[in-house]
Amino acid sequence: MRILIADDQEDILAGFGGLLREEGHEVETAINGQEALEKITVLSQEGRLPDFIISDDNMPRMGGLEWITAARAREINVEFAIFSSGVVPERWEKYEALGAKKLLIKPALLDEFLSILPKVSSKRAGGP
């Protein structure tokens, strides 16, 4: 599965990104929302969209809600989950309206982190 992780904590990008790679996933990382939007735009143009996005909410330059909203405006629609230290209910409702699959609160154990990934039955993986 191709996964994009957007988080402003380098230890999260390195730690969970490395673990996902060990699990056999192809991982792209972004240190903030602006970089995530730029990466997903290029990946879309190359026909290599990720199967899933894991994004922090509160990041410099552009937060999770802002970059995912901008990606949706560009008709880039990828399933996603939010991995954050907390999201106020009104903001979570906006994420849900965009199609958020889950909210995982930091810190999290590896099993919890892996639980937010969808089963490999996505359309790009040959599922229904």
Phi, psi (degrees; rounded to nearest 5) at 57: -90, -55
Opening angle at CA 80, ends 56 and 119, nearest 5: 125
Asked whether the predicted pLDDT for residue 57 surpasses 60, the reply is: yes
Q: Is 52 helix (H, G, I), strand (E, B) or coil?
A: strand
74-114 per-position pLDDT tens digit: 999 999 988 888 788 888 999 999 988 888 878 777 778 77
**What confidence score (pLDDT) does residue 119 get?**
62
pTM, full prediction: 0.86
- Kindly list the structural domains of the chain, giving each domain's residue range(s) and its CATH number in brackets, ordered by start: 9-110 (3.40.50.2300)
